[in-house]
Structure 1
Amino acid sequence: MTGHHPGRSRRATERKGDVRERSILDTCEALLAQKGYDAMTVGDLAQGAGITRGALYFYFGSKQEVVTALVARTVEHLWERSRATAQAEEPRQAIAAAMQRTVELWNEHGLVMRTAIDLSLTVPEIGELWQHTADLFIEAITAVLERAGIQAGAKPYQAPAMARSLCWMIERTFYHASQESREELRQASATCEHIWLTSAGLIT
């Protein structure tokens, strides 16, 4: 029995820690909407999560670390939703599915996505996260283009270069549309999907 209780206690502590960390990140997302990144403080984060500043520092060393973790959680959701795109059999369906999943996440977490883009040039950890996410999407877009018959290679009109341009076009288009309304985002998604289909030679 003596060997059983410490293990159970550790598991309970880990679960409690997971709940607290999630609460801090959820609070951070809410405060981004209410105050913005610059005005938000560690005290605000602790108060919103129902813990002391000292307790918050047990999980994160700074406001920047909290936001970085929030971005990491969000982009992981983005990639999880779009992971099947590269493996989908039919390019048209793959493109439609990718755009649908992406617009859903921008509707849910557009503020976090815009914050990630805004901070990507000044916060190296966020910049690396965002670039890694872009690289994954470029790889997935490349696979769809190649499956649609676009040639592989390093030339400007071949699949990898086209995929890079499509990825960054989608990012910038969604960034602006998400600040307007869900309808603007829906229309922007439809436009990006049309451009991707055209680039793949699937519509003329």
Structure 2
Amino acid sequence: MTDTFAQDTTRPRRGRRESRPSGDDREQAILATAERLLGERDLSEISVDDLARGAGISRPTFYFYFASKEAVLLTLIDRVVAEADAASSAPPEGAPADPTAHWCTVIDAFLATFRAHRAVTLAAARVRGGNREVRELWAGVMETWVARAAHAIDCERERGAAPQGLPARDLAIALTSMTERVLHATFAAERPALAEARVVDTLLGIWLATVYQAPTPPRE
């Protein structure tokens, strides 16, 4: 998960031709078409012609914006991650007065964002194993979230709210990986999987019990 005690790190945007302005309507149309089609079928079943036709442009024009359909997916992933990070951010003044509310807000923001972009979330997971760029992008995303969570745990320990214990980074890796897996299973309707209505409360309880070794951390 993300942590707002640390400074945001900006990942380089991947997969799109940097010469184009981000607000270009045709680029937005390509991205919107891709996200819509990913909700209907796998990336392997979507062609560049499908994306171009859906965006109302020619195939040559498509290549003016993106090098491939995989490049479109990379940009969609970047944007969804940026949206999740922005939604889960809190004022940087320091530790939250109510840690439970803080962690609940963070987890709920991630659930809401990735649920809103379920098609992109599931497509990224399916493609990751066979696409090096997607795999490396997601590894960087996970590393950022792990670093933020580890920093948050260290901050809570330093102020005496959380006890010392296993290395903060190890906890952050386990908790972040668990959260990613739980969300994916729920969005993919796997069996077994948590009901969507129970995701936030369940994950919150595990994070609090692990970080604070108590169901409710102390408030300031």
TM-score (norm 2): 0.76
Out of 163, 166, 171, which is 1:162 matched to? 171
Mark the CA change 1:33 to 1:167 in structure 2 (over 3 Å): closer, same or farther.
Answer: same
Instruction: State the identity %.
Output: 28
Q: Match for 2:80 among 71, 74, 84?
A: 74
Q: After alignment, is 139-148 or 24-33 more displaced?
A: 139-148
TM-score scaled by structure 1? 0.82
Is the contact made by 1:33 and 1:111 (CA closer than 8 Å) also made in structure 2?
Answer: yes
Report if the CA contact (8 A) 2:104-2:200 is conserved. Answer: no
- Return the alpha-carbon distance in structure 1 between the equivalents of residues 207 and 169 of structure 2: 13
How large is the Cα RMSD of the aligned pairs?
A: 2.5
Q: Assess if the C-alpha contact under 8 Å between 1:88 and 1:94 holds in 2.
A: no
| Structure 2, unpaired ranges of 5+ | 1-19
Q: Is the 8 A contact 2:107 2:200 kept in 1?
A: yes
**Which shows bigger deviation, 106-115 or 53-62?**
106-115
Is the contact made by 1:174 and 1:189 (CA closer than 8 Å) also made in structure 2?
no
| SS of residue in 1 equivalent to 2:126 | helix
Is 2:211 the counterpart of 1:203? no
Q: Which amino acid aligns with 2:169?
A: P
Decide whether the 8 Å contact of 1:178 with 1:184 is kept in 2: no
Choose 1 or 2 for highest CA Rg: 1
- 1:174-199 alpha-carbon deviations (Å, 9 max, x no partner): 00111239x82231232111100100
Q: How many residues align?
A: 187
> CA–CA distance in 1 between the matches of 2:201 and 2:71?
35
Structure 1 residue ranges without an equivalent (≥5): 1-13
The alpha carbon displacement at 1:141 in A equals: 1.7
Aligned in 2, Cα 1:116/1:150: closer, same or farther, shift over 3 Å?
Answer: farther
Once the 2 structures are TM-superposed, how far is the Cα of residue 150 of structure 1 from its aligned partner?
A: 4.2
